[in-house]
Amino acid sequence: MPKKYHIAIQPTPLNRDFVSKFKIVRGENCINCGKCTKVCIYEAHRRGAKDPRKIDEPHMALCRNCFRCIQECPRGALVKSLDPDFSALGGSYWKPDMLLSIWKQAEDGKVPVSGAGYRGPFTGPGFDGMWTDMSEIVRPTRDGIHGREYISTAVDLGRKLNHLTFDDTGNISSKIHQTVDLPIPIIFDIPACTLSPNVTAACVMAAESAGTFAMMPAADITADIKKYANSIIPLVSHEKSTAYQTMISSARLVAIEYAPALLYDFDSVKESIKKMSQAVTIVRIPAMTGIEDAVATLARSGAEVIHIVSDYRGMEAPGLRQRFVKEVIRAVHLRLIEERIRDEVTIIVSGGIAMAEHVPKAIICGADLTAVDIPLLIALGALLYEEPEKTLTLPDGLEKMPVATASQRIVNLIGAWHSQLLEVMGAMGIREVRRLRGETGRAIFFDEIDKDTFGKLFHQREMTSI
């Protein structure tokens, strides 16, 4: 049996708090009776270490919102509210709770579990407008928790043949293309912002440890991370590729920045890369109006892997109508199917991949795999704000964080996402993530089911007499 894929998670708390959802203020009428220290089972209230006659300020990172202290304080002296620093985080796409969840997963590498039912809205824009499906009896392919070891999350990147041809003697005459295998459908797309060397190093080290790749501009690949060259995808522009010849020659995957010129002459660009190296090429193209045409053209002219990049909230570039990445992927996927070339090319999608569930959902919509960007930094304590404009605030002292610590936190996050991918695949009865691609039959789309159910029931109906 081949070695099992395993992501080595390890609890890695940092010596700092992230953000707290709640704030509790101790009023002046507190009599330091200590009732709160007795009723709080999470130890958010403690007596002062220096002066035990006084109760400390509440330790909000420990508060789990159980309301016991609020309801049992004999003087009603505790006042809780939403912490404005928490509410100001993120925005319409990146909900503050998502950031908190990423932080926690980076800390312990575990699947977030909680009690009580789902708390969020019924449906929502983007990926929130779909549910994954499962089956009760009729698809005997699942095996719950025990079946997990049989679920494969591996994908391969590269060009695939539509069919094989054989010569007269019965030998294969088709040339089999080279592919790169990944154990998880996730690569890292290191965010384009000024990062200290330890953070970049942590990203590539984590990529290596998880058995995947980190994509970054070739110009940023410094000598200290060259030892991870096997896990780095250098990103170059097609004109300047020769400047990075040595780097490209040892790479297994090379990404080329999209330029309209590629549409007319992809062959020669690919040729020039192939002269330098065995690497499989990726074309990194921004999501924009007409992307399905561009992708189809590239695929027809021999592109091996196409990476569609939407903005940080999963939107394509402003155009006539701006679609969310879910719609973009579906359009691209369907176009390639119509042209009967879907299986020949690999599609990577990134932008707005913020939660574990976005990975299977993007794949159901038609991507082969996803690239994750901003969560890599949130795992290290970065704060993201959407308003008034996109701002990513890196935590103080990040440049001093040991590479091993930072890397382990990223590994933990990916480990947690991998486990969650197994959870939903198990529920869907899908044993291979490759078979999930474009499998919209394993999803329920809000727009469709709502119209199908309530649209039929309520559209211009007359009330019948009682």
Partner 1 sequence: MKPSTVVIKPMPSRFKHQVPKYKVTRSDACINCGMCAKSCPYGVHERIEGHNRMRPPIDYKCIGYECRKNDEFYCVYQCPRKALSLSLNPMYETLGDCRWTSDMIIATWIMAETGYPPERTDIGYQIGNSEGGFDKLRLKFPENPPKVERDEISTEIRLNRRNDGRADVLISTPLYGGGMSFGSVSLPTMLSKAHNAKIWNTFTCTGEGGYPEMLYPYDDHVITQVATGLFGVREETIQRVKIVEFKYAQGAKPGLGGHLLGEKNTESVSRMREAVQGTSLFSPFPFHSVYSIEDHKKHIDWIKEMNPKALVSVKVSTPNDVDMVAVGSYYAGAHIIHIDGGYGGTGAAPDIAKKNIAMPIEYAIPKVHNFLKDEGARDAVTLIASGGIRTAHDLVKAICLGADGAVIGTAELVALECVRCGNCESGRGCARGIASTDSELADLFDEQWATQRIVNLYHAWNFQLVEILQKFGMKSVSELVGRTDLLEHVDYS
Residue ranges of alpha helices (H) inside 210-286 are 245-250, 261-264, 266-276
Q: What is the DSSP secondary structure assignment for residue 251, as one 8-state letter?
A: -
Spatial CA neighbour of 233 closest among 285, 201, 280, 300: 280
Asked if residue 455 binds partner 1 (CB under 8 A), the reply is yes
Pick the closer one to partner 1 by CB: 72 or 156. 72
* One of 10, 13, 31, 71 touching partner 1 (CB under 8 A): 71
* One of 34, 211, 302, 429 touching partner 1 (CB under 8 A): 429
Structure tokens at 54: 């006084």
* One of 37, 56, 72, 179 touching partner 1 (CB under 8 A): 72
Structure tokens at 95: 């909900």
Asked if residue 432 binds partner 1 (CB under 8 A), the reply is no
Instruction: Quote the least distance from Cβ 458 to partner 1, whole Å.
Output: 4
Map the footprint of partner 1 across residues 347-376, applying CB under 8 A: 355-357, 361
Pick the closer one to partner 1 by CB: 293 or 452. 452
Instruction: Quote the least distance from Cβ 108 to partner 1, whole Å.
Output: 12
Instruction: Quote the least distance from Cβ 362 to partner 1, whole Å.
Output: 13
Quickly tell me which residue has 């081949």 as its tokens. 2
Rounded distance between C-alpha atoms, residue 255 and residue 223, angstroms: 19
What is the secondary structure of 373-409 as a DSSP string?
-HHHHHTTT-EEE-SSS-EEEPPTTGGGS-HHHHHHH
Pick the closer one to partner 1 by CB: 113 or 164. 113
Q: What is the CA radius of gyration of the chain?
A: 25
Rounded distance between C-alpha atoms, residue 263 and residue 204, angstroms: 31
Pick the closer one to partner 1 by CB: 179 or 440. 440
Asked if residue 133 binds partner 1 (CB under 8 A), the reply is yes
* Number of residues located near partner 1, criterion CB under 8 A: 78
Asked if residue 388 binds partner 1 (CB under 8 A), the reply is no
Asked if residue 189 binds partner 1 (CB under 8 A), the reply is no
Asked if residue 104 binds partner 1 (CB under 8 A), the reply is no
Q: Cα angle vertex 103, ends 97, 108, to 5°? A: 125
* One of 2, 4, 15, 29 touching partner 1 (CB under 8 A): 29
Q: How many Å separate Cα 202 from the centre of its chain?
A: 17
* One of 344, 423, 436, 437 touching partner 1 (CB under 8 A): 423
* One of 210, 280, 332, 424 touching partner 1 (CB under 8 A): 424
Asked if residue 115 binds partner 1 (CB under 8 A), the reply is yes
Coil, strand, or helix at residue 228?
A: helix
Q: Cα angle vertex 18, ends 199, 56, to 5°? A: 140
Asked if residue 81 binds partner 1 (CB under 8 A), the reply is yes
What is the maximum span of the chain, computed from C-alpha positions, in angstroms? 95
* One of 123, 152, 196, 301 touching partner 1 (CB under 8 A): 123
* One of 4, 175, 340, 459 touching partner 1 (CB under 8 A): 459
Q: How many Å separate Cα 245 from the centre of its chain?
A: 31
Rounded distance between C-alpha atoms, residue 365 and residue 356, angstroms: 15
Q: What is the DSSP secondary structure assignment for residue 313, as one 8-state letter?
A: T
Instruction: Quote the least distance from Cβ 320 to partner 1, whole Å.
Output: 26
- Contact pattern from residue 148 through residue 187 relative to partner 1, giving x for each residue in contact according to CB under 8 A and a dash for the rest: ----------------------------------------
Q: Cα angle vertex 207, ends 203, 213, to 5°? A: 110
Pick the closer one to partner 1 by CB: 165 or 464. 464
Asked if residue 145 binds partner 1 (CB under 8 A), the reply is yes
Q: Cα angle vertex 388, ends 386, 390, to 5°? A: 40
Instruction: Quote the least distance from Cβ 151 to partner 1, whole Å.
Output: 12
* One of 231, 241, 412, 420 touching partner 1 (CB under 8 A): 420
CA distances from 6 to 146, 176, 220 (A): 16, 29, 30
* One of 143, 220, 343, 386 touching partner 1 (CB under 8 A): 143
Which residues are registered as beta bridge partners of 249? Answer: none
Q: What is the DSSP secondary structure assignment for residue 178, as one 8-state letter?
A: P
Instruction: Quote the least distance from Cβ 90 to partner 1, whole Å.
Output: 17
Instruction: Quote the least distance from Cβ 140 to partner 1, whole Å.
Output: 4
* One of 8, 88, 134, 172 touching partner 1 (CB under 8 A): 134
- Contact pattern from residue 32 through residue 61 relative to partner 1, giving x for each residue in contact according to CB under 8 A and a dash for the rest: --------xxx-------------------
Spatial CA neighbour of 252 closest among 161, 156, 372: 156
